[in-house]
Structure 1
Amino acid sequence: MEALFIFVAKSSGLLILFYLAYHFLLRKETFFNSNRWFLLIGLITSVALPFLVYTKVVWVDPTPLPNFNYSHTYVPQSIEKESFVIDWNLVSLAIYAIGFLAFMLKFALDFYSLNSVLKGKKVQQQADFKFVDIKENIAPFSYFDYIVYNSSMYSESELENILEHEKVHSDQNHTIDVLISRIFCVLFWFNPIIWLYKKAILQNLEFIADSEATKKISDKKAYQYTLLKITTHESCVAITNHFYQSLIKKRIVMLNKNQSKKWNYWKYYTIIPALVAFVFLFQIKVIAQEKESKEKTEVVEKTDPVDVYKINKHTTDQDLKEIAEELKENYNADVVISNVKRNSKEELTSIRIDIKKENEETQTLQIEGDQAIKKCGIVVSVENDGSNKIGILTDDAIEKPISIENRKIEVREIRNQVGDVTPPTPPTPPTMPVFPSGPMPPAPPIDMSKMPKAPKAPTNHNDKAAMKIFEKELAEFEKKMDAFEPDMSAYEKQVEEIMAKREAIYDKEMAKYDLAMEKFDADMEKFNQYVEKTYGSSSDEYAKNMGEYEKGMRTYEKYMRQQERDMRKAEKNKKS
């Protein structure tokens, strides 16, 4: 589950990275085909790059082994009580599954709607295209090699313009781009950036089709008139390339825009340093390994076992009985446990243990008092002559790994009891910087009552007088629309300058934060290995440590959500 959340966070971050690069650097350029591949590569990279992880091994000095002494020193021990907690991971997964199923259902309904339009219709094959003339009032669209239109709604010249446009969509397989963007919207439905990303893909496809179609059409102005006429037909099929995309003004602007200079291609390469930084910051896994030492090698070579039986304040009567039975069965040692007393919390406060082995003297461990006992252990080691030696183990020597006279120690747990040796303090994660906020310049006031209305094209396109009047009205309309453009352009420039300054400040803070996070990751990896090695992956301390790591990931996700809100706010300010 943790790995899934990390993947989603990384993938969403890459989507944001590519979208910002397109929005601020490329969307106003006329490199439409290059933009198409840039956007598609962004989608593929966002799901592929998080799986590419480089493992870096950092060699550290071995952890000193604790001394082993036979003494009566004890350490307090406690076991946390289980309590009911909500598994937010499962809650998040359930919410995601509900959204995923809802958007999958919508996707399936769109296919059903498309099938309903095409079902039973007469198909006319011409070259590589399949033309379908329908009677429904639906905007013309293409779906792979199918081109669907209603010929009764357009004149012959208008229909020719529309078909040239749709042939470009079909010939360049733009339907694949549409389907890929829809699939990503289903998978990442919770990320608002993916919806903006999809909109950018569809908009760029229309720019490509307009650009290629006008190369084959002699009357470029008539093509623009056709765009204006199609604005009245808003009904369309969702998963297709359709002639109308609610961006007529932008399409006309891009049709009349001068070709971008080739040196502007440098903008595509700006994404490379960002991807390299992403790899260095998030895709390098640092693993700390201890250097081999002579002492460690000697311990490995010697295989005589040493068994340790732990006793602490939570050891039950049944546990004590099992310890006595195992010592008798494995080492023929007679163990008598008596004077067992407990407090109101059922914690062991007093105990007497008498150990007798064959002809050896009896060893006695006796603890009395009102407080819970500290941790101790019974150790059985094999001597060089093959005999067994039984003694009392100190609290410092109970935890793994330890060695006695170059022998391995094999610690036996009774019912998975967990020790209470205080672990080292985990590293503290650095504080994540906050994106600078502040007031934005007020949007220029626009009196909607003064907004000009587009003239209506005459029904009879061959009526020269009517067409002359229409052309005059259209010229007046364009002139009036141009009057609104300077204010909006100046406002957009102000917003972009403010956001650029804030991004520069934020980038500096993020650079410092990234360095701190790199050090924190290395420290955390070393700490994790120590805790897992010392306490075991099933211990409370290890679980607590992993909980801290998950908390850090939730903080990162919260940061990503804030970034998305900032992006939406910036987009809203521009539109207003």
Structure 2
Amino acid sequence: MEALFIFIAKSSGLLVLFYCAYYFLLRKETFFNSSRWFLLAGLVTSIILPFLVYTQIVWIEPAPVQPMVTNTISALNYAQVSSQKIEKETFEINWNYILLAIYGIGFLALLIKFAIDFYSLSSVLKGKEVKQQADFKFVDIKENIAPFSYFDYIVYNSSMFTASELENIIEHEKVHSDQNHTLDVLISRVFCVLFWFNPIIWLYKKAILQNLEFIADNEAAKKISDKKAYQYTLLKITTHESCVAITNHFYQSLIKKRIVMLNKNQSKKRNYLKYYAIIPALVAFVFLFQIKTIAQEKERKEQNDIKEVTGKKDPVFVFKIHKNTTDQELKEMAEKLKKNHDIDVVISDVKRNAKKELTAIKVDIQKGTGEAQSMQVEGDEAIKTCGIVVTLENNGSKKIGLTTDGAIDKPMVIGNRVVEVRETNVADINTGNLTPPTPPIPPVFPTGPMPQAPPVDMSKMPKPPVAPADHKDKVAMAKFEKEIAEFEKKMEAFEPDMSAFEKQVDEIMSQREAIFEKEMAKYEIAMEKFNVDMDKFTQEVEQKYGKDSKLYEVNMKQYDKDMRQYEIEMKHHEKEMKQHEKELKKMEKESRKS
């Protein structure tokens, strides 16, 4: 519930911010279309921005663990006092539910009003004759209702106006219909239903509707020769106060402001910078309300399984593995060795008994391309403590070792467990006979100069005829078809040179495509051979050094890397082919234009 109230408060605050910016900076400017999108952007921002929260994490030192001290006397006194308390039934009012109920009542009432307005509109349009002209649907009614538009419908009572007045009204409503101003009206109504409790939203809606009228007046005045007659029409419509609520109606109570804006000079371009004044305010809103700071304690250093032995000549880090070490702890140990000491650790063949104790484990470690070590412990009973030892020497280098109860430098048997330490020099193996195959290089599409398009005298180029406005005019259409036939006949004189040019281009590109396809066929055969050689190499490594060896893992990673590179190259090739087709189409288009 608290989150809902916070969202409502933030959203209402953003609406206030945008409305104040419009009212004090923009409402007197003549950038009506820009103001339209500014006001709509304010509505969208008030809904989206409160959900965009940036989380900032602040790390703090962990609090020291204090021993728990029980104060027996205080506890006894508290028990005595508590036993003497008498429970009283109290009635508390939950204001959250009351506010929510009030909001629900208002929301439901306005939603019903919204539905009634739709019903009223449908009643006005129902059964009326509709005349379709271009993109508009004209409806002539008999009711005493101010003219209005609803999407592509333009509704008016022709008996109430003269021919010139009706022409002015229709030009005005055409602007509303053509620019889809009905959407703005409906969106503002929806926001009024959602935020009915906020008085600013009603002023916001009024500003949207008023700006839409400014747009329609401004555009209609450009098409009307007598601007004074248009203003008199505005004054005459004020006597018809009956309007349909969810439409763009010609009648508006602020006729004086509309006439003032009609006669106002165009605003200076530098005043357009006022729209950007909202940006610093939005940035301040984000920094003040949309940044959430979370404090987290740093991890305490583990004392049991990772120890730093000091007091010796060289520092020694011991990472212990005991019978109760969990899989998660083993994973964290490997991550810390990689992060703090740049040591790759692979833990495998982990087995546990019914008590979840470790009975078998294999550890492979390696630093860079140098010495690799492996330790494997197997048995039926829980393992004894073993681990990884990292020694930091005076020269800055690190020495890595595997150990159980003592240093192990050769295979040996402890109890019923076999402990094996194996050292392998990866660099020596890589320089031996087992060399991975090299993937082939993909071909590149051949390039080169292209023939020049033939010069064309544009002054001799015939101009295409213009189609008549009325397609139902048979005489005009017959004349147009005759002019088209003559135009095509004249254009045939330019075809030979263009056909020869296109033929040259097709021949050159066909030769290049043939060369490229031949090279691609060779490349695909080479890739098939590479895959076969790679499979053979992988089997040899697996047979000689084992599937769990470090070399096998490195080899498989390299193979995956090569295959990914192959996929990238094939995608690049496909992209080049598409670009090539695009350039051909562009060249053909330019040649036809010339």
Calculate the TM-score normalised by the size of structure 2.
0.49
Identify unmatched segments of 5+ residues in structure 1.
Answer: 305-576
What is the aligned partner in structure 2 of residue 51 from structure 1?
A: 51
Secondary structure of the residue aligned to 1:294 is coil
Alignment partners' CA distance in 2, 1:153 and 1:221: 19
- CA shift, 1:66, in A, is 1.5
Alignment partners' CA distance in 2, 1:17 and 1:33: 20
Change (3 A) 1:144 1:73: same
Change (3 A) 1:247 1:298: farther
Alignment partners' CA distance in 1, 2:132 and 2:96: 53
Alignment partners' CA distance in 2, 1:188 and 1:131: 35
Deviations 1:248-282 (A, max 9, x none): 11000000000000100110001001001111111
- CA shift, 1:146, in A, is 0.2
What is the aligned partner in structure 1 of residue 136 from structure 2?
A: 129
| RCO higher in structure (CA 8 A, sep ≥6) | 1
- CA shift, 1:198, in A, is 0.2
- CA shift, 1:298, in A, is 7.5
Amino acid at match of 2:262: L
Deviations 1:287-334 (A, max 9, x none): 1100112268889x9999xxxxxxxxxxxxxxxxxxxxxxxxxxxxxx
**Aligned-pair Cα RMSD in Å:** 2.3
What is the aligned partner in structure 1 of residue 241 from structure 2?
A: 234
What is the aligned partner in structure 1 of residue 37 from structure 2?
A: 37
Change (3 A) 1:205 1:296: farther
Deviations 1:444-467 (A, max 9, x none): xxxxxxxxxxxxxxxxxxxxxxxx
Alignment partners' CA distance in 1, 2:63 and 2:119: 65
Deviations 1:210-250 (A, max 9, x none): 00001111111111111111111110000000001111110
Alignment partners' CA distance in 2, 1:126 and 1:185: 34
What is the aligned partner in structure 1 of residue 17 from structure 2?
A: 17
What is the aligned partner in structure 2 of residue 3 from structure 1?
A: 3
Alignment partners' CA distance in 2, 1:141 and 1:99: 28
What is the aligned partner in structure 2 of residue 162 from structure 1?
A: 169
- CA shift, 1:151, in A, is 0.3
Identify unmatched segments of 5+ residues in structure 2.
Answer: 307-320, 326-594
Amino acid at match of 2:95: W
**Residues 1:205 and 2:238 are matched in the alignment:** no
Alignment partners' CA distance in 1, 2:114 and 2:216: 25
Change (3 A) 1:296 1:129: farther
Deviations 1:484-510 (A, max 9, x none): xxxxxxxxxxxxxxxxxxxxxxxxxxx
What is the aligned partner in structure 2 of residue 256 from structure 1?
A: 263
What is the aligned partner in structure 2 of residue 89 from structure 1?
A: 96
Secondary structure of the residue aligned to 2:220 is helix
What is the aligned partner in structure 1 of residue 181 from structure 2?
A: 174
Alignment partners' CA distance in 2, 1:210 and 1:10: 35
Q: How many residues align?
A: 303
Deviations 1:381-402 (A, max 9, x none): xxxxxxxxxxxxxxxxxxxxxx
Q: How does 1:513-528 map to 2 (within 5 A)?
A: none
Alignment partners' CA distance in 1, 2:139 and 2:110: 29
**Residues 1:267 and 2:274 are matched in the alignment:** yes
Secondary structure of the residue aligned to 2:286 is helix
What is the aligned partner in structure 2 of residue 485 from structure 1?
A: none
Alignment partners' CA distance in 1, 2:121 and 2:196: 22
Q: How does 1:280-291 map to 2 (within 5 A)?
A: 280-291=287-298
Q: How does 1:552-571 map to 2 (within 5 A)?
A: none
Change (3 A) 1:70 1:212: closer
- CA shift, 1:60, in A, is 1.3
What is the aligned partner in structure 2 of residue 27 from structure 1?
A: 27
Amino acid at match of 2:113: K
- CA shift, 1:83, in A, is 3.6
- CA shift, 1:67, in A, is 1.2
What is the aligned partner in structure 2 of residue 117 from structure 1?
A: 124
Identity %: 78
- CA shift, 1:103, in A, is 0.3
- CA shift, 1:61, in A, is 1.6
What is the aligned partner in structure 2 of residue 410 from structure 1?
A: none
Amino acid at match of 1:210: D
Secondary structure of the residue aligned to 1:202 is helix
- CA shift, 1:84, in A, is 2.7
**Residues 1:215 and 2:222 are matched in the alignment:** yes
Q: How does 1:362-401 map to 2 (within 5 A)?
A: none
What is the aligned partner in structure 2 of residue 190 from structure 1?
A: 197
- CA shift, 1:166, in A, is 0.1
Amino acid at match of 1:56: Q
Amino acid at match of 1:259: Q
Alignment partners' CA distance in 2, 1:297 and 1:201: 68
Alignment partners' CA distance in 1, 2:303 and 2:128: 80
The structure with more radius of gyration: 2
Indicate which of 139, 144, 156 corresponds to 2:151.
144
Alignment partners' CA distance in 1, 2:92 and 2:164: 69
Alignment partners' CA distance in 2, 1:70 and 1:228: 86
Amino acid at match of 2:182: T
What is the aligned partner in structure 1 of residue 514 from structure 2?
A: none
